[in-house]
Amino acid sequence: MLAALPERLHRFRPRLLDSLRGYDRSRFLTDLGAGATVGIVALPLAMAFAIASGVKPEQGLYTAIIAGFLISLLGGSSVQIGGPAGAFIVIVFGIIERHGLANLLIATMLAGVLLFLMGLLKLGGLVRYIPVSIVIGFTNGIAVLIALSQLRDLLGLDITKMPADFFAQIHTLWLHRASFNPWAFGLGSLCLAGLFVWARIFKPGTFLPREIVEGRSARVVSRLPGPIVALVTLTAFSTLLGLPVETIGSRFGGIPQSLPDFEPPDFDWATAKQLLMPTLTIALLGAIESLLCARVADNMIDAPRHDPNQELMAQGVANVVVPFFGGIPATGTIARTVTNVRAGATSPVAGMLHALILLLIMLAAAPLALHVPLAVLAGILLFVAWNMGEWHEFARLRHFKLPYRSVLLGTFFLTVIFDLTVAVEVGLLLACGFFIWRMSQLFSIERLAPDPEIDVTTFQDTLPGAQAGIEVHSLYGTLFFGAIGKVETLAERLRPDTRVLVLEMHRLISVDSSGVDALVQLHRQLQRRGVRLIVAALNTQPRSLLERSGFVAQLGTHGVAPSLGAAMEAAALAGAAPPATMRAQ
């Protein structure tokens, strides 16, 4: 048994090893261009995600650099980009509020260990079984919470510390409405509007004539990332005019021009025991986000599909390492991964280069970040939240039935009002409950003969041997714990003169232990009434379980028939004489 254990574990093999076969200068230059593009895009997003999460902007940069490099180096995808993600904003902010920054770092490390073990034990495929209604629900809920968290900086409100609770945040914003800063609101709104326009301005037939859009200059300009254009132009605008708005420098004092020293966070088991739920939340969300992102990337490239288990192991390593440098949780990021693909990335080298280029940008341009208005970063994050949410799914709910609506809306509102952990737990319970209900509806028992309203002789052609006192019922679907109620009431629905009940099972796909117990109880009820039970045409799985449970032995020599015809012959013989229980009476 121990010798077979290594075969059940996933073999650690990064996708980079396969991607480097035949790697040449041309592919390197292509990856370099893609890495530079993604590095520029990652700069404002990493700082914005960090600030929104309640930590310093440089912690977001450290995470994007270190975790981004490790995820590309060790991951199972050719093009996925790792780093701080918008989905983690609400989670990280809540953990810091409740447990503090030091415990966030510990929870991140523990989540990294859990992610690595999930990959090692080949559990990456299980993430695919999370219903899409739950994914859409919590994704939209997180988008709403991200947008809410940015209203303070967008409106320029003088709030020292924002609470983590949804209603408390709304109450705090309302209490400080008098400190509204129109300059901050103007910058943030201009940034948000500019990002929407930038995404559409270079499309033919929208804002500009076709001849301008198709010009060489326009094609060059259109490749500039919108967030960088907004960050640079609005920062320059605010600085030149001396607008009275809060900046990174005024709140955080600037960004260091070097990576931090390696420093283990304070760790003790007493604290770690209190971080079980935060750890599970980070690990679960990281696994879902990274594997969903990798699946999106697979559909955009002509390359081997990602290895989910290797990807989880890389995410685990990254999340174990980054806390030693003050970093926050990291996962695969859809926006940067899509940018990487569209920029022409051919291998994980592009992701590694993106991290190195981001490091160079931080080292060279850190002093300039002092002047970045927080309202501009809020506008960028509001744009991210809008693109993150799948809002059209709410309009499509009318096309779906109650189970799908309930799971999606329940997960959405629970994410917004409570937290992601509660939302996913309840969402999974709802999904499982509705799944059991739907499966139970697929199981049915139909009467074949004789119908009380039809003379028994009408069945002679289709059911040879049919006669009064013999009832035939056919079982369809799967007899499991959610459907046993239909078997439990079967004895009550038989005619008073029934002497033999035949259960035809050639369309019964499978049976579980609860289904077997229901058949046993049915047999006992029938014995008390003096009715013989015969089962016919058993499939492989039901036959195996019924034999192993001893039920076949209880039915006796003629209690199991290979076909319905044979069962009818046995029923005719059994119906010709009173059952043994009746003779005993």
Residues in the chain: 585
pLDDT band at 220 (very low <50, low <70, confident <90, very high): low
SS3 565: helix
> Rounded CA gap, 168 and 253, in Å?
28
Global pTM value: 0.76
Tokens of 449: 């003969």
pLDDT band at 112 (very low <50, low <70, confident <90, very high): very high
> Rounded CA gap, 241 and 237, in Å?
6
DSSP state of 257: S
For 469-539, list the strands marked E by DSSP.
470-479, 500-511, 532-536
For 99-156, what is the HEC assignment?
HCHHHHHHHHHHHHHHHHHHHHCCCHHHHHHCCHHHHHHHHHHHHHHHHHHCHHHHHC
Q: Supply the pLDDT for residue 449.
A: 55
Q: Is the pLDDT of residue 578 over 50?
A: no
For 362-368, what is the mean pLDDT?
Answer: 82
Q: Is the pLDDT of residue 98 over 80?
A: yes
Q: Supply the pLDDT for residue 461.
A: 44
Tens-place pLDDT, residues 456-488? 444 444 454 456 688 889 999 999 998 899 998
> Rounded CA gap, 232 and 229, in Å?
5
Q: Supply the pLDDT for residue 466.
A: 52
Nearest to 347 by CA among 13, 43, 14: 14
Give me the DSSP letters along 139-203.
HHHHHHHHHHHTHHHHHT---S---SSHHHHHHHHHHTGGG--HHHHHHHHHHHHHHHHHHHHTS
Amino acid identity, residue 464? P
Q: Lowest-pLDDT range, 1-5, 16-20, 173-177?
A: 1-5
Q: Lowest-pLDDT range, 292-306, 455-469, 489-503?
A: 455-469
Nearest to 319 by CA among 529, 105, 510: 105
Q: Is the pLDDT of residue 148 over 60?
A: yes
Round the average pLDDT of the chain to a whole number and report it.
84
Nearest to 327 by CA among 87, 46, 43, 44: 46
> Is residue 63 within 8 Å of residue 312, measured between CB atoms?
no
> Rounded CA gap, 284 and 281, in Å?
5
pLDDT band at 570 (very low <50, low <70, confident <90, very high): confident
Longest alpha-carbon distance in the chain = 106
Nearest to 151 by CA among 182, 185, 190: 185
Could you tell me where the DSSP H helices lie in 459-539? Answer: 485-488, 513-529
In a 13 Å sphere around the CA of 349, the CA atoms on its Cβ side amount to 20
Q: Supply the pLDDT for residue 249.
A: 86
pLDDT band at 281 (very low <50, low <70, confident <90, very high): confident
Beta-strand relationship, 82-83 and 500-511: unpaired
How far is Cα of residue 380 from the mean position of the Cα atoms in its chain?
A: 24
Other CB atoms within 10 A of residue 34 CB = 26
Q: Lowest-pLDDT range, 21-25, 278-282, 292-296?
A: 292-296
